[in-house]
Structures are given as structure tokens and as C-alpha cells.
A and B are shown apart, each in its own frame.
Chain A
Amino acid sequence: MLSIKNLHVKLEEEDKQILKGVDLEVEAGKVHAIMGPNGSGKSTLSYVLSGRDGYEVTEGSATLEGEDLLDMEPEERAAAGLFLAFQYPVEIPGVGNMTFLRTALNAQRKARGEEEISAGDFLKLIRAKAKDLKIDADMLKRPVNVGFSGGEKKRNEILQMAMLEPKMCILDETDSGLDVDAMKLVSDGVNALRDEGRGFLVITHYQRLLDHIKPDVVHIMADGRIVKTGGPELALEVEQNGYADILNEVA
């Protein structure tokens, strides 16, 4: 599904290398988790994959089902099936949540040569999905993320994911700013989307999110590289001993 080979990335503005050769394969139907200390390059990886400005790929490749992601505009990546759940979802005053989602869904469909969804069908679909995430009608009508609590913003990210039905989902520190109940709601939303045809890359600092979203594979990232890969037990090891032991071990 998602194939990253020897990815090197530096900041465009300054001569600072952030990713120093990342190799990663996420298969369809699997959940991979990336853990790592602050500044290890986890979020940069998610930004580079989704196409945010300010980064320069100096070496390596990233493909989604064989298609070169790095060559595409952000909207093309989305239409190809990539979705990034933001660590800090953006507030957009004046743009209604519903308008935004319908525009996005139809733009993706159009880009793939599919029929646009009718207003009636869209309404039915979003109401059903919103209900599962306990998102009320008022939240749907309000401007995108404006005045939403931290938990509401993250639920709104998952709602977008559920509506857009991407092939490859990247969750960037989705657990940050969530209380226990919100974490459960968000995780349930993600788990409901787990599917044989869909891959997940869950970026997180802490193990607790992985109690709810059970990963198949766990990677440890440090200083711009993946330094260790293992099963779910690796996350528990981090929880118990911190990153220091693992980093010493691979150093």
C-alpha cells in the first residue's frame, strides 16, 4: 500500500536534515504505529507524505499503490487515497463544515472520474457517520473547527476520514489533547474503518492510544530514521522503560 524507501528530507528554508533515510512498508489491512521521542521526525514524515510546503526531499521515494506520491499536489494525493488526520486541525472561519466536506468529497470523486454525490445522499451519509462519532447537527453546520474543543476537533478529523474513505490513513498524534472518553470515541471511529483494503499509520508519542487502536507492527523512530521494528510488545516496552533503553541498545 504505502511504500517509503530511503527517504531523506530537509527543511527548505534552512540547511537542516530532518529525515535521514526512512524505510517503511505499510500493507493493506494493517495498522502500523510509529513511536519516538520529540524531534525524531515523526510529524515531518506525515507532512512530507501529505505534501505540505517547506520541505525538500533530497533522496528516496514514497509511493501509494505504486504511484509516486512526492510528484503529486496535496489534492491529488488525497484523491489517490491518502488521508492525514492533523495533530492540530485547522480552524476555518466562514466555511461551513458541511460545505467543506461535500466540496472535498465531490472534488475527489471528480478527480477519480466518478459521479458527484447528490445533496440528499450526502446528507444521509454524513448524518449516519456523524451519529456514530456523537457529532451533533450544530457541529456540522458550524464553520470548520471554529470554537470546537480539542476532542471535537479530533472527532471531526475522524468524521472526514469516514466520509472520504481513504485507502491509506495517517494519524498524527491524534491522542494529543484527548481525555479518556474522547480517546475511546476517536479510537472506536478509527477501528470501525479498519478494513482489509485500508492501511493505517498511527503516529504517537504514548502507548495509551495503542491500547485502543491495536497495531500489527510498531516502529521506533529516532533522529530521522526508523531504528527498531517489532510487534505490539515494543510499545509496551517503551511505556515501561522510556525511549532511552531502546536508543542505547541500537546506538
Chain B
Amino acid sequence: MAVAQAKQDLTETRIAALDMPGGAGWAAEARGAALSRLRAMGLPTRRDEYWKYTNPASLTQVDAPRAAVFHAGDEVPLYDGIDRLKIVFVDGVFDADASDDLSLEGVEIERLSDAMAKDIHWARDLFGVLETAGQTPVARPLAALNTAFATDGVVIRATGRVEKPISLVYLHRAETSDAILHHLVRVEEGADLTILENGPAAARFNKCMEISVADRAGFHHVRAQGRDHERRAATHMFARLGEESTYKSFTLTVNGVMTRNEHVIELTGDDAVAHVAGAAMGDGKTGDFHHDDTVFITHDAVNCESRQVFKKVLRNGAEGVFQGKILVKPDAQKTDGYQISQSLLLDEDSSFQAKPELEIYADDVSCSHGSTTGAIDETALFYLRSRGVPTEIATDLLVLAFLDEAIQEIEDARLADDIRLRLQQWLERRRKG
């Protein structure tokens, strides 16, 4: 189907404002192919079914809308007490001085541009490959744009049990920065790697991570998206899982005028496990809040397990969206698929839209999904107040309790506690606001 003229114009205008970075032959080819994909799909508009609940206009326009920089004051930074290897990006540009030395046992880390300059590199088998696979059956044009034009990123290859997490820190300094980052992660057979991400990255952030998890390998991911009220983000995690491998991802989102987080996961080896979770807390009082979790999990092997747990707390006109799909292919017998999306609306101005989907072609599977929207439990609130807890603190206790079901999905207890502490501090600060 030809791309409508308006869509074509939108796409060409955006492309014209971007420069394609150079690289080795294979890299240029991959970039070129991504550009062709983008042109064939066209950038998304509100009229696309996949963007029915989220208006992509601010993500596709040429200039990034201005976003004030949030100052955390004397707060202790996230993951502060956790021994990790830090890789810092400032407004989407790698900052070598602020980053740790990139050598660590069991893992090779390079800057994307360095890898792409080499004629022979494993990145060739991954760069744009999972993104391309993830374009069917649903188009993800912002990811194709990312592959074509990403200016920076890291490529990480884990060959053993990596002792400490790799921590990607995204600092936002310039009010109109527009960052496009692309990371590649390859976890080799039997290896295990944890990636942490935190920070808003830029006024507008387009991030793509392609993750290949080999047989019996493990990938763990904990992310916090920063608190800058006006920041915008469109992120994609494309993952392919081998036999008996594990993929676990958790995202915390507080504030942010626009966020669209997509997970596209293929379970291609038997007995693989994929868990994705998210906790989002939006307050429309400090600027619009729109948060969209879009998940697409394909079961293409026997006896695999997938689990989606997404919780949102929304107030003062904040908007939440969940689109989650489990696709079970004909041979994916013994699939165990679970999906839950829940929102807690603290007032009548806030809204939550959920579109859970199951598409099952195998006959011996167990799949369930659920979605709920509710107000605060008045009985619990009264009980807490009757013991002397003021309404605001009582509400926060119930909010934390609600989000905790998603936080419990984090396997590493230290990381889970750090996320909890962060939320408590943020709520406290908000109360004192």
C-alpha cells in the first residue's frame, strides 16, 4: 500500500533534517536498508491503529520540543550504592571523562561508532536485524529511523557471568537536545549480564536496544526514565531468546510529558523465559503526562514462559496506555503466557486505556490476561487515617503498595530496594512540594 502523501511529507521532512553517520560498508548498507524501511512505512500518525491511544506528533516533528532540565538537588543518585560500570551520555553523546574504564572481565564494550567502522565485527549480525524482524506484523517506524540515524550508543558482548551491572547513565543538560541512541547487546551461551539505565537523556530521546540472548544465557534490565517533566521518549527493546535463556526487564517511569516504551520479544529456543514489568507514576499537575507501554511477545518454541506486569498510578489528568500482545505460533506448545495491566486513578480527570491481545495458534497452551482500572480503596484509606496517618501519606502508602507488585518482578533485591527507596523519596518530595 502506498504511503499517503501527508505521511510521506512528514517522513521526508524529518529525514531531511537528519544526517546519516558514516561507517564500514556493512554499516552503511544496514543504515540504508533502515532508511528504505522507514520510507516504505512512513512515520506514525494518530490515524495509525498502533498509535490510536498515543499521539506521536511530538515524536516525529523535526525539532524536539523544549524541555526544562530537572534539578534533583542533594538527592542521592539512583543505584548509588551499587557497584557498577558507568557509561555516561550527555544529551545523547558519550562522555568518556564521566564514564568508567570500559574494561571488565567477561564482557567487551565498545562505542557503536567504533564497532561500525570495522569491516569485520559481530555487530553486523545484530545491528538492525532484530529491529527488522520486529517490523512484522506491526510497523515500528521510529525504530527504523533510529537504526538509520542513531548517532551514538554502545555495543556490549558478554561472554561469561559479568560480576557487576553495566550502568547506562543518560544526562539531560540542553533544553532542546534531541538524542538518538542505538545499543547492541549480545549475551553469549551461558553468560549473564545486567544492564541498568537511568536518566531522561535529552529533551527528546529515541532509543533502540537490540538484545540477543543465546542458549542458557541471562539478560537482566532495570531502568528509570528520569523525572524531567517535559522530556519525551520513544524507546524500543528488541530481543531474541535462545533455549533456556532468560530475559527480565523492569522500567520505572515518573513524570515525562510523553513516553512510549515498546518491547518486542521473540522466544525462539525451547524453555526460554521472558518477563517484562513496569511501574509508572504520572501527575498532570506538573505538566502533561502520557505514558504508553506497548509489548509484543512472540512464542515460537516449546515450553516457554512469558509474563507482563504493568502498573500505573495516575492523577491530575495523567494518561496511561497499555497495548500488550501475546502471539503463540503453531508449534509453540506448552506455552505459559501471562499478562496483567492495572491502573490506579486518583481522580476523575485521569485516564487509562488498555488493549490486551492474545493470538494463539497452538492448542496446548495456557495464556491469561487481565486489566483493571480502579480508584483508591476508600476503606483502606479510612483505616489508615483512623490510626492517625494523614490522607496524603496514607494515599502514598497505598500507591507504593500498588506499584510494588511490578517492583517485585525485579530479581535482584538490592535493585528492587533501590527503586522502592527512590519512589518513597519522590513521593515525600512531592508531598513537601
Contact = CB atoms under 8 A, between A and B. Distances in A.
Nearest to B385: A74
Nearest to B382: A52
A100 B400 CA distance: 12
Contacts of A86: 383, 386
A103 interface: yes
A159 B377 CA distance: 23
A103 B393 contact: yes
B389 A104 contact: yes
Interface in B387-433: 387-391, 393-394, 397-398, 400-402, 404-405
Nearest to A80: B388
Given A92-B380, A94-B405, A50 B397 contact: no
Q: Which has the most chain B C-beta neighbours within 10 Å: A74, A100, A105?
A: A74
A75 B384 CA distance: 8
Contacts of A77: 386
Interface of A: 50-53, 73-75, 77-79, 83-84, 86, 89-95, 99-101, 103-105, 107-108, 111, 143-144, 160, 164
13 contacts: A53-B382, A75-B388, A75-B391, A83-B387, A84-B386, A90-B379, A90-B380, A92-B383, A94-B404, A95-B400, A107-B388, A107-B389, A107-B393
A74 B380 contact: no
Given A90-B380, A95-B397, A95-B401, A73 B391 contact: yes
Nearest to B387: A104
Nearest to B399: A94
A100 B404 contact: no
B384 A160 contact: no
Given A105-B388, A107-B393, A164-B388, 9 more contacts: A50-B386, A52-B382, A90-B379, A95-B398, A95-B401, A99-B397, A100-B384, A104-B384, A111-B388
A103 B397 contact: yes
Given A92-B401, A107-B393, A160 B387 contact: yes
A53 B386 CA distance: 12
Contact of A94 (B383, B394, B401): B401
Contacts of A111: 388, 390
A105 B387 CA distance: 8
B49 interface: no
B97 interface: no
B410 to A, nearest CB: 15
Q: Which has the most chain A C-beta neighbours within 10 Å: B377, B384, B388?
A: B388
A170 to B, nearest CB: 10
B383 A90 contact: yes
Contacts of A164: 387-388
Contacts of A53: 378, 382
Contacts of A83: 387
A200 B400 CA distance: 35
B404 A74 contact: no
Interface string B98-131: 0000000000000000000000000000000000
Closest 6 CB pairs of A and B: A94-B401, A78-B388, A108-B388, A90-B383, A104-B387, A74-B385
A74 B386 contact: yes
Contacts of B382: 52-53, 74, 90
Nearest to A112: B388
